[in-house]
Amino acid sequence: MTQNIWKEVVINPQEKTPLYKQISNQIELLVHDGQLKPGFRLPSERTMAKLLNVSRMTITLANEEMKMKGIVRSHQGSGTFILRGTRLKEKEVQLDNPVDFAYPTGEINHGMDEIMSLGQDQSLINLGGVGAAPEVHPGIEFSQCFAEHLRRNPVLLQLPSPTQGYEPLRLEMINWLKKVGVTAELNEIMMVSGAMQGLDLISRLFLKPGDFVIMEEPGFLAAADAFTATGAKILRITLDEEGIRLDSLENMLMQFPVKFIYVNPTFQNPTGITMSLERRKQLLHLAKKYGVFIVEDDPFSLLYYSEKPDPPIQTLGSDHVIYIQSFSKYLYPELRVAVLVASEGIIRHLSKIKQRVDLHSNNLTQIALHAYITGGLLETHIQKLRYGYAQRLKEVQLRVKASSFLHCQIPKGGVFLWCRIPKEVPAERLLEVAVKKGLTFVPGNWMSGVGLYDHHIRLAFTHPSHEGLKKGLDLISDAISAYKAYQF
Ligand SMILES: Cc1ncc(COP(=O)(O)O)c(C=O)c1O
């Protein structure tokens, strides 16, 4: 097998099919034609990227797709190999037919995979995912606090963990939640392994095939994945400057058996829009009128730049709201800790489901978070984040103003900037050019459930260093110019 075979893999950037799919489809054909034999080792991702003149990320995704289809198998350290032909045929039948799986992973959008895999590439300036930049990172303070706490209380490591969470942390949450105005009793509080687990548990409890969920358009893509994985359908509702539009929402509630309305009302992902108080009240009124729950995802409320936002919808009517506050954006996404607040009955059901998938959330990170909060350190850290992010946003605004290509909505808090790019530049294609230039962001259409926002991008401005941020923003304009000049 020679290098020449790769000349047969012809990719066309003008086609609608993403490049990685074009590559995996063509390699699949080469296998079927017998030109690539079982056991053949594919070139390394780096070499393949060079041979096909695409980014390494595109090859990683193509390999993942081929693994999913059962065409190749990877062995840690030794490479990626074509599977045996007979195996391939069997697998294809199963994998191409989602009926074989109860959980239709094939229908799940590839956006989260890409955000996470690009986020791991240290050579890229990361405006895609969220994390704290070096100057606002809790750094060694967090680990010292944890180490000191364990040194004084070694017995903590041997305590059994209840499913609802480490009890001292749950107790502390009663106080912590008051910062955003949420009042809850101990039996209405449960710790989960990140907001994502909360959303998954809620989906498992409420949704079955044929059910409907309402969510914002555009909205948090991983939440959409959790809902659709149950077989439920999502009804998308656009936003105006006050949040989700209620005229369309009531229409949907009248027509469909909706189970819950999922919203991220404060500094929304991806638009940064904050729902007005009046809208919050009206939304709750509609939820009560039609007897549906609101699932309120609130990971950003404390990250306001100057003015405190309106209180969560939960504070206006706790019976109809399941509230989730993640600590990923306040501390580290890697902690995988979030707090979920709901009625005692709902908490009981959710913890039964949690027991089946995760006996309890990681106790070490819960103990660490508890020590950090009770030491007053998280409060101080969040103040630092507010100031640091507000400064960063000023910097970003200056650069955005100087660019004739970017038109961005300026948020009053949170971590995202939602920007319109020229209409002749498709966001997904721009990402491919940007990755070659050393930058990543999230194309707007990944946040859409109805194929919109092809000419929008989401920029998370909290992660890179100060210098990286400036360079990253300049690179976006460079990538847009390059795209316009050469129409990649
Ligand atoms: C609105 C929203 N909810 C939830 C999450 C995920 O939170 P966690 O890391 O706690 O799962 C994110 C992450 O970006 C988010 O933007």
* The pLDDT value given to residue 114: 75
- Architecture of the domain made up of 140-375: 3-Layer(aba) Sandwich (3.40)
- Ligand 1 centre distance from Cα of residue 275 (Å): 18
Quote the tokens at residue 406: 């970017």
* The pLDDT value given to residue 342: 97
* The pLDDT value given to residue 3: 58
CATH level 3 topology of 3-100: Arc Repressor Mutant, subunit A (1.10.10)
Q: Using alpha carbons only, what angle is made at residue 405 by residues 113 and 133, rounded to the nearest 5 degrees?
A: 50
* The pLDDT value given to residue 76: 66
Q: Mean pLDDT by 10-residue block, N- to C-terminus, for the chain (488 residues)?
A: 75 84 88 80 88 88 83 77 58 50 62 75 83 78 90 83 94 97 97 98 95 96 92 94 95 94 98 98 96 97 96 94 96 93 97 94 93 95 94 91 90 96 92 90 93 94 87 90 76
- Ligand 1 centre distance from Cα of residue 93 (Å): 35
Quote the tokens at residue 136: 């606002």
For ligand 1, residues with CB inside 6 Å are: 130, 194-196, 220, 264, 269, 297, 299, 326, 328, 333, 338
Question: Which of 191, 196, 300, 369, when mutated, tests ligand 1's pocket best, judged by the most ligand atoms within 8 Å of its CB?
Answer: 196
Give the DSSP letter string of 476-487: HHHHHHHHHHH-
Q: At 44, phi and psi to the nearest 5?
A: -60, 160
- Ligand 1 centre distance from Cα of residue 113 (Å): 14
C-alpha dist (Å) from residue 161 to 156, 175, 342, 343, 346: 10, 21, 20, 22, 20
Other C-beta atoms closer than 10 Å to the C-beta of 168 total: 16
* The pLDDT value given to residue 388: 92
d(CA 429, CA 3): 27
Maximal CA-CA distance, the chain? 68
Q: At 189, phi and psi to the nearest 5?
A: -120, 135
Taking the complete model, does pTM exceed 0.85, yes or no?
Answer: no
Answer whether 272's CB lies under 8 Å from 306's CB.
no
The CATH number given to 113-137+379-486 is 3.90.1150.10
- Ligand 1 centre distance from Cα of residue 416 (Å): 12
Q: Whose CA is nearest to atom 16 of ligand 1?
A: 269
Domain residue spans of the chain: 3-100, 113-137+379-486, 140-375
